[in-house]
Chain A
Amino acid sequence: MNRRKLLSLMGMSPVALAGIPALAEQAKKSDQTKKKGAASAGEPKLTVLNPRGLPPPITLIPMAPRLSTLDGKTVYLVSDGFPGADAFLNQVSIWFKKYMPNVTTVYRLKAGGFADDDPKLNAEIKEKGQAVIMAIGH
């Protein structure tokens, strides 16, 4: 599935996704029932209630400004703890050494379960790092 289709399925309002007209159209469509051929002619119509709950509003977060270059910068390689993420990020640091030796990489395992926040690590990265690559999956 592409991003537009996905976001429209979750009901993201077209206004928030300005510049993506297809989304607006799809969002509108999902509010109507699909008509299936002529089989319904003459049959009585019913009105039924929507079973869905109330999702909380989403606050949009602007993405952090990008760096002009990674040269001379420190990139944190953060593992979320899923099996294989550590070995994978080790390979990423090897890649940087080979192709972008001016980049300093620092490997860190996020503390706690994979769904938990790690404020201490976040503070460290904010202080000493300029960019983050986070590995998710296994």
Chain B
Amino acid sequence: MVTIAFKDLAKTNAAKRGMPLQRISFTPHPVWGKTDDEMYAYLEGNDPVSGKPLMKEVVASLTTPLTADEMKTGTVTPPTGAPTFTDTADNLQQYFLDNGMTDFMPIILPTQEKVDAMLKATSHKPDEVVGKMTPAQGAFPAWSYTVQHVAVNAVMAGAIPDYFPTILAIASTGISALFSSTNSLVSAAVINGPAREKLQMNYGIGAMGPFNQANAVIGRAWTLMSKNLDGGGVAGETYMGSQGNVINYNNLIIPENEKDSPWQPFHVQKGFKPEESVISFFFGFNITQGQGGKGLGMRPIPHYHEAMSANVGPFASLFGALFILDPLVAHGLGDLGFKTKDDIANWLVKNTTVTVKDVKTMLFSAPPRGPEAANLTDDSVIPKWPRADAYNFVVCGGQTNPYHQLANMSYRLSVSIDKWT
């Protein structure tokens, strides 16, 4: 029995798992927040899809003999269409859009000539398998793809060949930027090393906005791949975010401003050499701006650390906190005595606290478990995140104001871009 909001999802998912004709009954949506009487009324009423009495249908599902189709075994390969399409440029733009192969915005048409030019930017062979991707681990089978598949998507996003190794590195992780959940989640990538200069990425004024080709296109390629390489991003089937998220268009691409940062670059923290080009992945709820926070208006020196601590207040502890600090903030924190990223992380662990009572009211924050939890009462004050590695810091921005942004996101992994050149 499935609530009607998940009708398409339930049917297609049963089919993908090998039971295209599974007998599914539907109840009205939602059941969460309804009274017992209201739910019982659902049972006495009809299945909103079939229009038949709901419980009669459930009993019949379990007792009506199977048809020949329902008993079928064997293997089916879902086709994804012809390898190439031929038409006028205008018709092809429309065809790609109508068939869900785009983000509903214009693309560069992936002609063989353009795809070949893209392929020249890597030493890897066109038919080499790059990875596997699924819109949600465990819920959908993963699709695989080759260097050439990635190149086609890179062309479509507007990439020049220089960007291709970075896009291959993204594809190699198998991380979809359009994760299927009823939460409308977002993805971010931090870029470090010489690739930032080689691709002329923007880590200055407006770094996360529409002001630079590499930032824009690499982020967009990730979303196009998340639709085309794994069958993801189909609203109601492989994408269930109730409200959606604007950031899914181009994702958060954050090249670190290494030269203006007083701290170790992010990839070096993760064990890479400064001269390596690396892309690091984050995943979580969203990003917000810090300038509303308490403490920033303190005189004469803004209390950046207090604002950062206050601003994570509404964050879910399911994911961590990623701070994107303008270089002015990083230097300002230095003036306040925080000389390394670890210094500020350790201060935040100690000083960012929450009561057990509050945690219990937060849907995606779990109260502590284990032996030490036995002594806690509702009024106990506990760290929001007990571990310093829940806090991550990247320095980025054009130094026009000492502002920070912060994301309720967790670090996932870092991969070498150089490996894909």
**Chains A and B touch (C-beta atoms under 8 A apart):** yes
Let me know if B359 is at the binding interface, CB within 8 A.
no
> Is the CB–CB distance between A47 and B1 below 8 Å?
no
Let me know if A135 is at the binding interface, CB within 8 A.
yes
> Is the CB–CB distance between B71 and A62 below 8 Å?
yes
Let me know if B373 is at the binding interface, CB within 8 A.
no
Q: Mark A42-56, 1 if CB is under 8 A from B, else 0.
A: 011111111111111
- Tell me which residues from 191 to 237 in chain B have a Cβ below 8 Å from any Cβ of chain A: 224, 228-231, 234, 236-237
Residues of B within 8 A of A19 (CB): 69
A50 CA to B146 CA in the complex, in Å?
A: 12
Let me know if B27 is at the binding interface, CB within 8 A.
yes
**Residues of B in contact with A (beta carbons under 8 Å apart):** 1-6, 8, 10-12, 15-23, 27, 29-34, 36, 39-40, 42-44, 55, 58-59, 61-66, 69-92, 94-96, 98-99, 101, 109-112, 115, 133, 136-139, 141-146, 148-149, 152-153, 156, 224, 228-231, 234, 236-237
> Is the CB–CB distance between B84 and A45 below 8 Å?
no
Q: Name the one of A51, A66, A136, A138 contacting B64, with C-beta atoms under 8 angstroms.
A: A66
Task: Determine the residue in chain B with the shortest Cβ distance to A80.
Answer: B2
Let me know if A121 is at the binding interface, CB within 8 A.
no
Let me know if A13 is at the binding interface, CB within 8 A.
yes
Q: Name the one of B27, B79, B230 contacting A53, with C-beta atoms under 8 angstroms.
A: B230
User: Number of contacting residues on A, CB 8 A?
Assistant: 73
Let me know if A125 is at the binding interface, CB within 8 A.
no
Given known A-B contacts A7-B20, A87-B39, A60 and B73 have beta carbons under 8 A apart: yes
Chosen A-B contacts, 12 in total, with CB atoms closer than 8 Å, are A10-B16, A35-B87, A36-B91, A47-B86, A53-B143, A54-B149, A60-B19, A60-B76, A62-B66, A83-B33, A88-B39, A137-B5
Let me know if A111 is at the binding interface, CB within 8 A.
no
Closest Cβ of chain A to B93, distance in Å, is: 10
> Is the CB–CB distance between B3 and A137 below 8 Å?
yes
Residues of B within 8 A of A55 (CB): 77-78, 80, 141, 143, 231
Task: Determine the residue in chain B with the shortest Cβ distance to A54.
Answer: B144
Residues of A within 8 A of B236 (CB): 1
Given known A-B contacts A46-B88, A46-B89, A54-B80, A61 and B39 have beta carbons under 8 A apart: no
> Is the CB–CB distance between A53 and B72 below 8 Å?
no
Let me know if A63 is at the binding interface, CB within 8 A.
yes
Let me know if A12 is at the binding interface, CB within 8 A.
yes
Q: Mark A63-79, 1 if CB is under 8 A from B, else 0.
A: 10111111000010000
> Is the CB–CB distance between B62 and A131 below 8 Å?
yes
A137 CA to B42 CA in the complex, in Å?
A: 14
Q: Name the one of B18, B81, B88, B92 contacting A52, with C-beta atoms under 8 angstroms.
A: B81
Q: Name the one of A7, A12, A50 contacting B81, with C-beta atoms under 8 angstroms.
A: A50
Q: Mark A94-123, 1 if CB is under 8 A from B, else 0.
A: 110001100000000000000110000000
> Is the CB–CB distance between B6 and A137 below 8 Å?
yes
A75 CA to B42 CA in the complex, in Å?
A: 20
> Is the CB–CB distance between B76 and A44 below 8 Å?
no
Given known A-B contacts A19-B69, A52-B228, A136-B1, A11 and B79 have beta carbons under 8 A apart: yes
Task: Determine the residue in chain A with the shortest Cβ distance to B33.
Answer: A84
List 8 other contacts, CB 8 Å, given A16-B72, A53-B149, A135-B31.
A11-B78, A12-B78, A33-B85, A34-B98, A36-B91, A58-B17, A63-B70, A91-B42
